[in-house]
Amino acid sequence: MRILLFLITNVAVLLLISIIFKFLGLENVFYQNGVNLNLDQLLLMSAVFGMSGSFISLLMSKWMAKSSMGVHVIEHPSDPTEQWLVNCVQRLARSVGIGMPEVGIFDSPSPNAFATGFNKNSALVAVSTGLLQQMDADEVEAVLGHEISHVANGDMVTMGLLQGVVNTFVIFLARIAGFFVDRVLLRNERGFGPGFFITQMVAQVLFSILASVIVMWFSRYREFHADAGGANLAGRQKMIDALRALQRAHDPEALPGGMAAFGITGGGFSRLFMSHPPLEERIAALQQQKYSQ
């Protein structure tokens, strides 16, 4: 239902933009300058390219996570720690009514964890060796609750769909800008001139930056809810203690691009591009109980 509603919303927004551009006479402006541009077809093409890349990434997310992070999936626990980890994830997954995720460990001295997967009933939850070494059992349980909440909330799918939507608009608006500069401003009358390609590339970079701001804002928003979910599953104080443990570890090593939005912590070179809110804000939100499931 979440996917269906999101797709319906996306189609509605695309249709609204098409209507607005037609109302403003954009197609006529291009036609008068020798460009027979069908905005509906351009929107459809942009949506196909924008959404397909996002869906392919989502479908391959578990494989990419295992490959890029070197995740060891626990199929048969080899020690008490692995057994406890599997049992804890199983209990938390049962509490929120999702299928048992794959459980894995990746080698990193920094305390971190992430969840990924296309389907919330077939996800992957992985923790770093550093997290197991630097946190006690209660804190690890809270981190696992945070990740299970990401899965139960469908955050991986929602983020993938959102990325597909913004990709669609980046492609569409970049091509519109290219046509406008090349044909309307530069008066190029033969094929696609340098103005089209240069403008499209520059516009795509600029629009991609703006799109990243939107995606990262949503990622930060979902983190507060995942923290609240972890607090509901493991206990509020355990979740606060886990976040404080991350503070004591200073700045944990950043996860690769696709994993960053679902890790227990994250960062960026400025607040607008941070996948996670500052730890102190997350702790304050839990203490004040601002956010809930």
Catalytic residues, which ones? 147
The answer to whether 208 and 59 are in contact (CB under 8 A) is: no
Tell me how far apart the alpha carbons of residues 207 and 168 are, in angstroms, rounded to a whole number. 11
> What letter represents residue 40's amino acid?
D
Sign of CA dihedral 288, 267, 253, 125: positive
The answer to whether 132 and 108 are in contact (CB under 8 A) is: no
Bridge partners of 17, per DSSP, are: none
Q: Which two tokens stand for residue 142?
A: 């809270």
Neighbouring C-beta atoms of residue 17, cutoff 10 Å: 16
